[in-house]
Amino acid sequence: MTNKNSQNQFRNFSAKYTHLFDEYIKSYFDSKINGYPHEFAKEILSDIKEYCLRDGKRIRPLLLLNSYIGYKRGFKKIEEIIKLGAAVEIMHSLLLIQDDIIDRSPMRRGGKAMHILLGDKYRPQTRNEYIGTDIASIVADIMFSCSLEIIANAKIRNSIRTEFLKIFSQTYEKTAWGQILDSLNTLPITLEKDTEAPMLISLMKTAYYTIAYPMTMGYVLSGGQGIHELEAIKNFGLTLGLAFQIRDDILSIFGVESETGKPSDSDLVEGKFTLLIHNTMQKLSDEDFTIFREKFLSQSKTPTDIEWIRCTIKDSGGLEETINSHESLIDEAYAKVEELSIKSANKEVLKGIIEAIEDLPI
Averaged pLDDT of the chain: 94
104 Cβ neighbours under 8 A, 6+ residues apart: none
308 Cβ neighbours under 8 A, 6+ residues apart: 295
Which percentage of the chain shows pLDDT scores above 90? Answer: 87
Q: Which CATH superfamily is domain 4-358 in?
A: Farnesyl Diphosphate Synthase (1.10.600.10)
pLDDT in tens, 105-163: 899 998 999 999 999 999 999 999 999 999 999 999 999 999 999 999 999 999 999 99
Distance separating alpha carbons of residues 327 and 204, to the nearest angstrom: 21
Angle CA(296)–CA(181)–CA(199) in degrees, nearest 5? Answer: 75
76 Cβ neighbours under 8 A, 6+ residues apart: none
Distance separating alpha carbons of residues 8 and 349, to the nearest angstrom: 8
pLDDT in tens, 173-217: 999 999 999 999 998 898 888 899 999 999 999 999 999 999 999
What pLDDT score does 2 carry?
Answer: 46
Domain positions in the chain: 4-358
DSSP for 220-231 reads HHTT---HHHHH
Please give the backbone phi and psi of residue 351, each rounded to the nearest 5 degrees, phi first: -65, -35
Write out residues in the chain with pLDDT < 50, as ranges: 2
| pTM exceeding 0.85 | yes
| DSSP 8-state secondary structure symbol assigned to residue 154 | S
What pLDDT score does 5 carry?
Answer: 63
